[in-house]
Structure 1
């Protein structure tokens, strides 16, 4: 009997010793491989987050692609360009959701000044004066009251300066032109936005650096992701449903900087990200053209 008790005690001591050894071994292994295990866990979690972000972006791209496809599909059946406009909340104007395309320009003006052609590409190589003329011609085409008048007439066919070589104009002629060209913002026709209107709409009711995101790659074409202009409405829109307000092409605005200079906003495919910020504005001569300079248009909400 005593021998049996002694044997059980011996077994217990061996088990206890083994347990202590196991705990010691575990602590040793934990100390040696714990940091590696934590690092691998962190890598797995980072990979899962990255995959989740990829799926989110893919879903956003799918939605944008569907909206753009619907926009293009409906374009053939839309008789009025006004169908492309969205009302800007808490403001008295509506804005075109995309930059004016080459197809839209050609339907109104009968030509295409863009060197790189494409129906869905934004029209470019247009002067500020060209954009003003487009607005009045489009208004007349749709039976609306033109916003712009020069020497008391809104009919662009009667604007004498269009028959002259603008680049030969003297400073005196420019001053006369700037003083005589009038914009009636209450007319129900189309016009260029003011800088204030453009920047308000570009923010989209959001607090982002660019129009619709702090990540320019999500919403705009610029120097780092494009070597030319791109078809409109491929990127994510901003909070108001406006596309390409950061990048793709600069957009003419109504405001005068001084004499013949007019403001432009938005940056372009040829610019660094800095120039595509919603708060930036620059200027160019009203008769200058460039392969990264276009425009979009607005209508006052007083339209009837």
Structure 2
């Protein structure tokens, strides 16, 4: 039945109804019309697909051509991603007199998404630094990127450990959960993330605090990374407009590294306590003090926050 005929029938039915007001007549008719149109469109689309499939079965050469074209597009996308992953090495800068190279920018959302196939960030944008990343997830990114490039992974044996400080031994997760229900003053079981790092591997890893701070100074003697004027080199609470910004928009430091003061906090390898890991650099929501090259603090390895990001390094094996 034609759509126009259905519309006229519905109009006639509603016109003879004595129980509906003029307004409800219109709403009722409009709703029925939209429902019928959606159903007819779905039927037409299904019939089109069936007809196309039948036609393609009768024309195997065209079917093969279309399938080949679809596969070429898939391969092109894989190659595009692979080239982007490979291009990350172009962002690495050899740090003078040190045995590592460091990424000139914080890891971006595009780079993260290409490797991890998701985007945890609160502020969305390909060239924005990835945030809402825990230390553990940053480590997973390093290993995943190393694997995609055929490099030796730096990290291994990552797992949570539950340790009874009073009894001086590892315990179960169940024991830990029971202990957390006690009053704070009586807690004796701690939880921390244990993992091994091979600093001689040629894959990607997080910098140590010492490596990060050395690189942040850039061979210069400034309060912030690249300047004594934070507005020249960093996004912080006074100029960020309460958000992250695309990487490499400010002045770099003496080694050509961007955003080491501000934009997002950057996870480092070192343990701040049994349960925590250090981070450096300050962020878009921090004051100037936290953006200094000597700043460091720690947070739980599993913690995420819209100010937490990271950058990566690779060991070079020689100074």
Determine if the TM-score, normalized by the shorter chain, exceeds 0.5. yes
Change (3 A) 1:173 1:149: farther
Question: Structure 1: how far apart are the matches of 2:307 and 2:189?
Answer: 29
2:270 match: 255
Asked if 1:277 corresponds to 2:259, the answer is no
CA contact (8 A) 1:96 1:242 kept: yes
The 3-state SS of whatever aligns with 1:80 is helix
Match of 1:103 in 2: 110
Where does the alignment leave 5 or more consecutive residues of structure 1 unmatched? 1-74, 152-158
- The secondary structure found in structure 2 opposite 1:270 is coil
Per the TM alignment, residue 174 of structure 1 is displaced from its structure 2 partner at its CA by: 3.1
- How far apart are residue 168 of structure 1 and its match? 7.2
- Say if 2:191 is the partner of 1:174: yes
1:83-122 matches, cutoff 5 A: 83-122=90-129
Question: Contact 1:80 / 1:142 at 8 angstroms: preserved in 2?
Answer: no
TM-score (norm 1): 0.67
Change (3 A) 1:290 1:89: same
1:1-304 matches, within 5 Å, as 78=84, 79-150=86-157, 174-175=191-192, 177-178=193-194, 181-226=195-240, 227-302=242-317
Structure 2 residues without counterparts, runs of 5 or longer: 1-80, 162-172, 181-187
SS in 1 for 2:270: strand
CA contact (8 A) 1:96 1:298 kept: yes
Are 2:190 and 2:275, in contact at CA under 8 Å, matched by a contact in 1?
Answer: no
User: For residues 147-176 of structure 1, what are the alpha-carbon distances to aligned partners after superposition, in whole Å with 9 as ceiling and x for unaligned?
Assistant: 00116xxxxxxx799xx9xx979886734x
Distance apart, 1:257 and its partner CA: 1.0
- Normalised to the residue count of structure 2, the TM-score between the two structures is 0.63
Distance, in Å, in 2 between the alignment partners of 1:90 and 1:281 is 23
Deviation readout 1:170-223 (Å, 9 max, x if unpaired): 886734x42xx1000110000000000000000000000000000000000001
| CA distance in 1: counterparts of 2:312 and 2:282, whole angstroms | 17
Aligned length: 215
> SS at the partner of 2:114?
helix
Cα offset for 1:87?
0.1
Q: Using the alignment, how far apart are the partners of 2:82 and 2:191 within structure 1?
A: 40
Question: RMSD over aligned Cα, in angstroms?
Answer: 2.4
How far apart, CA to CA, are the structure 2 residues paired with 1:160 and 1:251?
22
How big is each residue's C-alpha offset from its partner over 1:54-97, in whole Å with a ceiling of 9 and x where there is no partner?
A: xxxxxxxxxxxxxxxxxxxxx99653311110000000000000
Greater share of residues in strand = 2
